[in-house]
Amino acid sequence: MIKLLGIEKIYDSPSGKVHALKGIDLEIARGEIYGIIGLSGAGKSTLVRCINMLERPTAGKVFVDGQDMTALTESELRTARKNIGMIFQHFNLLSSATVYDNIAFPLKLSGTSSADIQKKVQPLLELVGLSDKANQYPAQLSGGQKQRVGIARALASDPKVLLCDEATSALDPQTTKSILALIKDINKKLALTVVVITHEMQVIKDICDKVAVISDGVIAERGSVLDVFTNPRHEITKEFISVLLSNELPAAFRGNEISQDRTPGSLLLLRLIFLGERADDPVLAKMIRTCAGLECTMLFGNLDEIHGVPFGRFIIGLSGADEAINNALNFLGGEDVRVEVIGYVRRNSTAVE
């Protein structure tokens, strides 16, 4: 549905040339929700604006629904843009127009008759749950309601693609959830291709099928959300994920020296990641039964779901004879679980046993 080939964007700024995008290739399939995550200044907003040519790439090609956007004239581009809805962080609604007129705006631009506008706007008001607010002005609405108006407006011209530029970044977590649910809902109902720009991993986790992590103008990592979440490769990805999934050691061990060699009184800490059907297998119970003389302490546990796939993360502490510990590592190696050996860490003396 959307294909970006070798997108480069260079800006002239007072302090010299800024290379905002350094050769981005990206393919987004029809009906997909594709997340693009990055820190501010990473180039993600520029990238999404290249899709509808609000920013013209310095080099590269942009295809939307098979059409080469970079080759269009201004007037062809205006027609093509009606196929691409966009919503914004700050909503960008007309303050001088009512909710109804804001949603009707793209239709008025294309000269639709007011009878047809009525037919179009009413169901949209219902879809976003604002039927009772039709005659209010944006200033009378909450942030979440404003974004609902933004979504309805973006859908008014029956687009095939919806671009969401930090659409939930100005909203509180509760409202964010409801807006994301709405986006997911319209993605399903209308088979809409959605591009989500965000700096919040939660947004990616909640609604995206695929994700690209953009850093310093290049895509550092990409893949299905499940893959990227459970097996992040790039440092920046790990950082984004750590906001949601803490990588810190439990408080009783935090700050203590981590050693690869056994020291007296320490536990061997392991981070275990279970994925999919096997997430609820009794692997640990089996390990303890199999490895005689092994002591196993559960230090941290979290079961989550990404797109309905169970995803468990645990930190366990092993002690006991060296042989028992080796047996345990061998046992885990043969199971369907990802094991990361953190090292031998001593428990804080102040912590209560």
Site for other proteins in 124-153 (CB under 8 A): 137-139, 153
The whole-angstrom separation of Cα 281 and Cα 5 is 44
Instruction: Report how far residue 163's alpha carbon sits from residue 20's, in angstroms, rounded to the nearest whole number.
Output: 19
Contact 169, 147 (CB under 8 A): no
> How distant is the alpha carbon of residue 166 from its chain centre?
11
Least CB distance from residue 167 to other proteins, whole Å?
A: 12
**Per-position DSSP letters for 191-203, written without gaps between them:** T-EEEEEES-HHH
**Interface pick for other proteins out of 46, 145, 157, 193 (rule CB under 8 A):** 157
Nearest to 228 by CA among 207, 203, 201, 249: 201
State the DSSP string of 79-125.
Answer: HHHTTEEEEETT----TTS-HHHHHHHHHHHTT--HHHHHHHHHHHH
Residue 162 tokens, joined: 């919806």
- Closest by CA position to 182, among listed 209, 150, 212, 211: 150
Phi, psi of 279 (to 5 degrees): -60, -30
Work out which of 59, 71, 94, 243 binds other proteins, going by CB under 8 A. 94
| 101/221 with CB nearer other proteins | 101
Q: Does 40 engage in binding with other proteins (CB under 8 A)?
A: no
Indicate which single residue of 30, 108, 188, 254 sits in contact with other proteins (rule: CB under 8 A). Answer: 108
Residue numbers 178-237 binding other proteins by CB under 8 A:
none
Of 35-43, 93-101, 205-213, 292-300, which part binds other proteins (CB under 8 A)?
93-101
Q: Which of 17, 78, 278, 286 binds other proteins (CB under 8 A)?
A: 78
Q: Does 113 engage in binding with other proteins (CB under 8 A)? A: no
Per CB under 8 A, 11 contacts other proteins: no
Q: Applying CB under 8 A, which of residues 7, 36, 37, 84 lies at the interface with other proteins?
A: 84
Minimal distance, residue 80 CB to other proteins, in Å = 8
Q: Which stretch binds other proteins (CB under 8 A): 59-67, 107-115, 229-237, 312-320?
A: 107-115
170 sits near other proteins (criterion: CB under 8 A):
no
Please say which residue, 62 or 299, places its beta carbon nearer to other proteins: 62
Number of C-beta neighbours around residue 113 at 10 A: 9
- Write the interaction track for other proteins spanning residues 45-64; mark x where CB under 8 A is met and - where it is not: -------x-x----------
Residue 185 CB, nearest approach to other proteins (Å)? 22
Query: Is 86 a binder of other proteins (CB under 8 A)?
Result: yes
Q: Does 81 bind other proteins (CB under 8 A)?
A: yes
Q: How far apart are CA 9 and CA 32, in angstroms?
A: 25
| Degrees, nearest 5: CA angle 18-198-206 | 160
Distance CA 77, CA 165 (A): 20
- Applying CB under 8 A, among 19, 82, 262, 338 the residue interacting with other proteins is 82
Query: What whole-number distance in Å separates Cα of residue 184 and Cα of residue 8?
Result: 30
Does 100 bind other proteins (CB under 8 A)? Our answer is no
Q: What is the contact surface with other proteins in residues (CB under 8 A)?
A: 52, 54, 77-82, 84, 86, 88, 90, 92-97, 105-106, 108-110, 137-139, 153, 157, 163
